[in-house]
Amino acid sequence: MHLPLPDTALRRRLGRLAALTLPLALLYSAPASAGTCTQRTERHTDPNTGQTWQKAFYCTNADNTTMYAGPNDSTPVATMKTTNSWFVCWRRGERHAGGNNVWYYSKGDTSRSGWGGRKAWGYMPAVKLTTSVDPAPGMPECRPDMWQAEKKVSDPNTGKSWSTVWYGRNDAGVKLYRDADTKVTTGYLDSTTSWFVCYKRGATHAGGNNVWYYTQGDRSTSAYKSRRGWGYMPATNLHARKHPYDSIPACPSPGSKPPAPPPPPPAGNYVLPLPRAAFERTIGSLTHHHWGDNYWAIDLMVPTGTPVYSVSAGVVTKYSQGTCGNGLSIKGDDGLSYLYCHGARYVGVGPGERVRPGQLILYSGNTGASGAPHLHLEIKKWVGNWSTSPAYCSQRFLRAIYRGQPQSPTRFPAKGGNCKAP
Ligand SMILES: [Zn+2]
């Protein structure tokens, strides 16, 4: 969870002092309406949900504030740069540093990498707004809605995988069915904020329509354990503005073939960090240093969404963020440290987890200090400090793996040597 900084408490205190003492009021140039939001007649349409609002509420907020995917989803999707911004509605969700669970919905100024499709719409925790009371008086509550999130889920029953899910509010303890009818129960959904991957039309249910949503339940019925809880839920149990919800796709029909999964990497102590075909398209990367600079690493130019595999067996030590973007550090069983950077998204592999060579650890992307989609791979012998740890030439190491002769990176030149693998 990215906890917002509790700077609003300070702003609020300053605001109150300003109201009491004139000199401070002159020094602190807060607007006269600090602590309240100003209502204006203004039309805003959210392309994610199709909703239109005729009123906007202008509130003071912290600068460069992160907007999140949902009030219960701490994925950053956008940034709000303005400090007097409009908001259209509020919703309750996760409790944040402001001491309450109110989140405000608006359109930010810039989208985060990989989230351009949302057009910067997202939720800001109330702690980032200078409001005297939350929710802000007069502002409407957001209507029941679904929100998209990037999440990798696979259904073993159909072999189909999804990388986007739709979260929504549902009744507690609802039944899931084998098909879009109420004949056979396969599982139960205990959570009341749940994700769904697609919808299907079937039998008309108590909600008066024939829309059913497909998801993985929290429990299976004993007769359907092998389905791992997957099943259809009648739309009547889902609190959404409309059914089917605007942007959720129809479930694939049974006859359609699922896309072929990426071929498994070859066995061995070391494997390529990418599917072989993707690696071949960036093989030119082996012929030069890390963009000619004095830095021992490799940049493999691959499109966003390319699977990234662990080169070695080892244990994930941490999520590496900042300039590395969505990255991972892995301590290899060989004693070396492997750093993978700029991923589009994680796949549920995190610190403490053991990985085997060829295990999917990330999807490549363009996050962090990255000018174009690529995978940055750096291999070092850990000596207690990343910057002084000696680095090995990934170029020659990867070429050896590619040629079917995997051997330890320590067999190749270290920092100071020639990394080019012609
Ligand atoms: Zn790089």
Q: How far is the CA of 300 from the centre of ligand 1 (A)?
A: 8
| pLDDT the model gives residue 2 | 29
Q: How far is the CA of 380 from the centre of ligand 1 (A)?
A: 14
Task: Compute the distance between CA of residue 151 and CA of residue 162 in angstroms, rounded to an integer.
Answer: 7
What's the pTM? 0.42
Return the residue matching tokens 């000018």: 371
CB 147 within 8 A of CB 71: no
Tell me, letter by letter, the H, E, C secondary structure of 166-231. EEEEECCCEEEECCCCCCCEEEEECCCEEEECEEEECCCCCCCCCEEEEEECCEECHHHHHHCCEE
Task: Compute the distance between CA of residue 348 and CA of residue 277 in angstroms, rounded to an integer.
Answer: 24
CB 335 within 8 A of CB 317: no
Task: Compute the distance between CA of residue 219 and CA of residue 261 in angstroms, rounded to an integer.
Answer: 27
35: left (phi over 0), alpha (psi -120 to 50) or beta: left
Q: How far is the CA of 357 from the centre of ligand 1 (A)?
A: 22
Task: Tell me the CATH architecture of domain 276-411.
Answer: Distorted Sandwich (2.70)
Phi and psi at residue 24, to the nearest 5°: -65, -35
Q: How far is the CA of 291 from the centre of ligand 1 (A)?
A: 8
Task: Compute the distance between CA of residue 358 and CA of residue 380 in angstroms, rounded to an integer.
Answer: 19
Task: Compute the distance between CA of residue 198 and CA of residue 117 in angstroms, rounded to an integer.
Answer: 18
Domain positions in the chain: 8-128, 147-237, 276-411
140's tokens: 């409407």
**Sites in the chain below the pLDDT cut of 70:** 1-35, 49-50, 246-247, 254-268, 291-294, 416
| pLDDT the model gives residue 237 | 95
Task: Compute the distance between CA of residue 104 and CA of residue 172 in angstroms, rounded to an integer.
Answer: 25
| pLDDT the model gives residue 22 | 33
> Which residue from 252, 75, 66, 227 is spatially nearest to 148, judged by alpha carbons?
75
Task: Compute the distance between CA of residue 89 and CA of residue 103 in angstroms, rounded to an integer.
Answer: 9
| pLDDT the model gives residue 263 | 52
Report the SS3 class of residue 402: helix
Q: How far is the CA of 310 from the centre of ligand 1 (A)?
A: 17
| pLDDT the model gives residue 254 | 62
* Interior/surface letters 213-242, b for 16+ CB within 10 angstroms, e for the rest: bbbbbeebbeebeebbbbbbbbbbbbebee
Q: How far is the CA of 363 from the centre of ligand 1 (A)?
A: 16
Task: Please identify every residue whose CB atom is under 5 Å from ligand 1, which is an ion.
Answer: 299, 376
| pLDDT the model gives residue 255 | 52
Q: How far is the CA of 338 from the centre of ligand 1 (A)?
A: 13
In the sheet with 147-155, reading across from the earlier edge strand, the strands are 147-155, 160-169, 193-196
Return the residue matching tokens 């320590």: 410
Q: How far is the CA of 301 from the centre of ligand 1 (A)?
A: 10
